[in-house]
Amino acid sequence: MVSFQRQDQILKILNAQQFARYSDLAKQLFVSPATIRRDTLDMENRGLIKRVLNGVTLSEEPEDVPYDYSVTLNLDAKRTVASRADRLIKSGMSLFIDSSTTALVLIRELSGIDELYIVTNGILVALEASKHNGWHVNLVGGAVNKMLENISGDRATRDIENYQADLAIFSCRGLIAAGATDANDQEANIKRAFAAHADQVMLLVDHTKVGKHQLYMSAPMNTLNYIATDKAMPEDIVGTARANHVQIFD
């Protein structure tokens, strides 16, 4: 098991029990305590966890993490979300798609669709979509975020205003009854612009983000039409979604 796989397992353990001792993690992952300490130091530097006395706990305010790392996290859940989201997407549609790793997984699931018109702020999403001969892909202009491998900023949101899509598709860092939230205002602004210039809006969210929230509201529940997820959600979120006529694919 390589480092990023161990770190993914550590996050899964912490999501289940909030705190874990170094010694217990070493036993569960069949490595030395020294290896666990190196992994957790790297994870703390990324803002994913906090190291405390004799162990680790989840970070309450996680920072953005590198795209090549986040794409490996909860991959099975993201594939399930993608498989439930693709039922809405038909040949000939125009789509806004964000830079999330879940959206990247979705793009890879749509190989059977002949023609799409895609506008995205995701550099890797654009490159992946461009592999399809019948797909027409536009990357919005703006400032490049090297860590997240996307485009953001005021120029990007102004660029989005030049389009009107059939469907906006994006993920989030947290979902509560009030709606989808994100860790920074640049990401939230992009998603609000996508929603404002699309006929319908679909949120992609796996169970690890449900019930959690970040500082910035990116999509209030009343701006959504669909939520694609991998597991049943808490009743308060389901109730608010139903009250706002949001269809849930779970």
Residue 194 has a pLDDT of 98
Domain co-membership, 50 together with 79: no
Domain co-membership, 152 together with 205: yes
Domain co-membership, 48 together with 121: no
CATH of the domain at 32: 1.10.10.10
Q: Does residue 226 lie within any of the structural domains?
A: yes
Domain co-membership, 93 together with 209: yes
Residue 73 has a pLDDT of 66
CATH of the domain at 127: 3.40.50.1360
pLDDT for residue 75 is more than 90: no
Distance CA 7, CA 36 (A): 9
Tens of pLDDT, residues 118-169: 999 999 999 999 999 999 999 999 999 887 889 999 999 999 999 999 999 9
Domain co-membership, 46 together with 79: no
Domain co-membership, 108 together with 194: yes
Q: What is the tally of structural domains in the chain? A: 2
* Structural domain for 224, as ranges: 75-248
Predicted TM-score (pTM) of the model is: 0.76
Residue 189 has a pLDDT of 96
Domain co-membership, 100 together with 208: yes
Domain co-membership, 85 together with 188: yes
Q: Does residue 92 lie within any of the structural domains?
A: yes
- Ordered DSSP codes for the chain: --HHHHHHHHHHHHHHHSEEEHHHHHHHHTS-HHHHHHHHHHHHHTTSEEEETTEEEE-SSPPP--HHHHTTTTHHHHHHHHHHHGGG--TT-EEEE-S-HHHHHHHHH-TT---EEEEESBHHHHHHHTTSTTEEEEEPPSEEETTTTEEESHHHHHHHTT--EEEEEE--SEEETTEEEESSHHHHHHHHHHHHTEEEEEEE--TTTBT---SEEEEEGGG-SEEE-SSPPPHHHHHHHHHTT-EEE-
Domain co-membership, 106 together with 199: yes
